[in-house]
A = this chain, B = another copy of it.
């Protein structure tokens, strides 16, 4: 995982002052994109979060929308900047826009503590609505990068989230609800798996998303019955029991 190249507070401050000047010409006012990036690792459903400055708060990866960019393009660009991946499954699921959703946030205070005073009524003091996406990534391929005043990029268990700024906590919950609804409906789960996987691994994923246990034999019957799995050679993994088959998802995806 790439950690940020150490950057001096001076340089950071200069960068932010510069950003404040250039942002209004470059980005849409009043709107951001935030993305809940889901990953699956060791049987747990994870979310990628950024540590805000040197505080104990985290935020969702996100950013601003270029003046000539669609929302989808902005979300994809920001996602690629953060994960260095192409062809990511990305779905818009909600737009958050209470009038005070950023008002009580300690974000600006934290930033000022890092780099000194920031002008009032600047770009950061706008009211923003946030167009929210969720993304599904194969966490074995992700190489998260951070930048600027985010001092850490980290995967968190969906059930052990840290303190979050703004309304990012409820947004993650909404993303999970939507993922649960999409999992069976659109078979999006395979975007979270590596190329090949065992039935057990797939079941663990479904259990992590639905947050409940499933009956192994019936799960297997259901998955095989979908007709979207190709059975590969067996995987001898050195465990003292029958070796499981490997499977591959065959894109029977008729682009809903």
**A: which residues have CB within 8 A of B?**
28-31, 65, 67-73, 92, 94-99, 127, 129, 131
A68 — which chain B residues lie within 8 A by C-beta?
A: 99
**Given A29-B30, A30-B31, A98 and B127 touching (CB < 8 A)?**
no
Residue of B nearest to A101 (CB): B70
Measured CB to CB, the closest approach of chain B to A125, in angstroms, equals 13
Residue of B nearest to A66 (CB): B99
Q: Which one of B71, B98, B99, B127 lies within 8 Å of A97 (CB-CB)?
A: B71
A136 to B23, CA, bound (A): 40
Measured CB to CB, the closest approach of chain B to A77, in angstroms, equals 13
Q: Chain copies in the assembly?
A: 2
Q: State whether B131 touches A129 (Cβ < 8 A).
A: yes
A3 to B73, CA, bound (A): 42
A97 — which chain B residues lie within 8 A by C-beta?
A: 31, 65, 70-72, 131
Q: State whether B28 touches A127 (Cβ < 8 A).
A: yes
Q: State whether B99 touches A31 (Cβ < 8 A).
A: no
5 closest A-B pairs by beta carbon, nearest first, are A71-B97, A70-B98, A95-B95, A29-B29, A68-B99
Q: State whether B99 touches A129 (Cβ < 8 A).
A: no
Q: Residue among A69, A70, A97 with the most chain B CB within 10 A?
A: A97
Measured CB to CB, the closest approach of chain B to A41, in angstroms, equals 30
A92 to B70, CA, bound (A): 19
A192 to B181, CA, bound (A): 24
List 23 contacting pairs A-B, 8 Å CB cutoff, sorted by A.
A28-B30, A28-B127, A29-B29, A29-B30, A30-B30, A31-B129, A65-B97, A65-B129, A67-B99, A67-B127, A70-B97, A70-B98, A70-B99, A71-B95, A71-B96, A71-B98, A71-B129, A72-B97, A73-B99, A92-B94, A92-B95, A97-B131, A129-B131
Q: Residue among A71, A95, A96 with the most chain B CB within 10 A?
A: A95
A94 — which chain B residues lie within 8 A by C-beta?
A: 92
Q: Residue among A30, A72, A127 with the most chain B CB within 10 A?
A: A30
A127 to B98, CA, bound (A): 21
Residue of B nearest to A75 (CB): B97
A67 — which chain B residues lie within 8 A by C-beta?
A: 99, 127
A91 to B31, CA, bound (A): 20
A98 — which chain B residues lie within 8 A by C-beta?
A: 70-72
Residue of B nearest to A98 (CB): B70
Residue of B nearest to A70 (CB): B98
